[in-house]
Amino acid sequence: MMEEMNVMPRIGEQAPSFEAVTTQGKINFPVDYRGKWVILFSHPADFTPVCTTEFMTFGKMAAEYEALNCQLVGLSIDGLYSHIAWLRTIKDKIDYKGMKDIEIKFPLIEDVSMHVAKLYGMVQPGESETQAVRAVFFIDPKGIIRTILYYPLSLGRNFDEIKRVLMGLQTADNFGVALPADWRPGDDVIVPTAGSCGVAKERMDNKTGELICYDWFFCTRKLSKEEVESKLGK
């Protein structure tokens, strides 16, 4: 049983398929979202304070993710009616850090059987055998898992980082580059490492300023915020 719970997909693999009931109707995942980026995330339980702050933050940012061609899909192992009651409570009663009247329009999966949670390794017995941890799966428009983040029950997620990861994945794909530590749109990006001695020498000898080479294997170039933003969501 524990081995089954601990199994999780890996980066670069096809996102496991499933059908589920959600607060927005039935879904066939990830088929229904082909052509979009998807952030599939789990939370431990409805009517819990940390999860409430997270859902309010996602709800507040929903339009930003939509602009990035990204669909949010939530999950917990609570039932549909609990989900509905909790989301209504968030909208009607909770006023937190200036966030209020937040309507959650993205689907929240009912997973009482824990089928999807187990399929994605969201249940970590060392943390809890009855609740999903705070997992985040970034899935690209072809249905491939590109990044996985895991948080424990007690720690709310960093939503600036979640959005940064999504923008970074799209930028790396769009421009064929890698991104340095703490990258933000407008920062320099890393060009592919030289694949031959000749190219390495050319880069080190290049004085045009197009590339900044710290050594033969480590060169960066400018990529403006405007260029990045012009292709986000594509």
**Sign of the torsion formed by the C-alpha atoms of 69, 75, 80 and 81:** negative
To the nearest 10 degrees (0 to 180), the angle between helices 159-175 and 49-67 is: 30
Nearest to 74 by CA among 64, 65, 83: 83
Selecting among 51, 70, 213, 219, the annotated active-site residue is 51
**Sign of the torsion formed by the C-alpha atoms of 166, 169, 172 and 173:** negative
88 labelled as ligand-binding?
no
Tokens 């390495």 label which residue? 200
Residue 166 β-bridge partners: none
- For residue 51, indicate whether it is catalytic: yes
Annotated binding-site ranges for substrate: 134
| Catalytic sites, residue numbers | 51
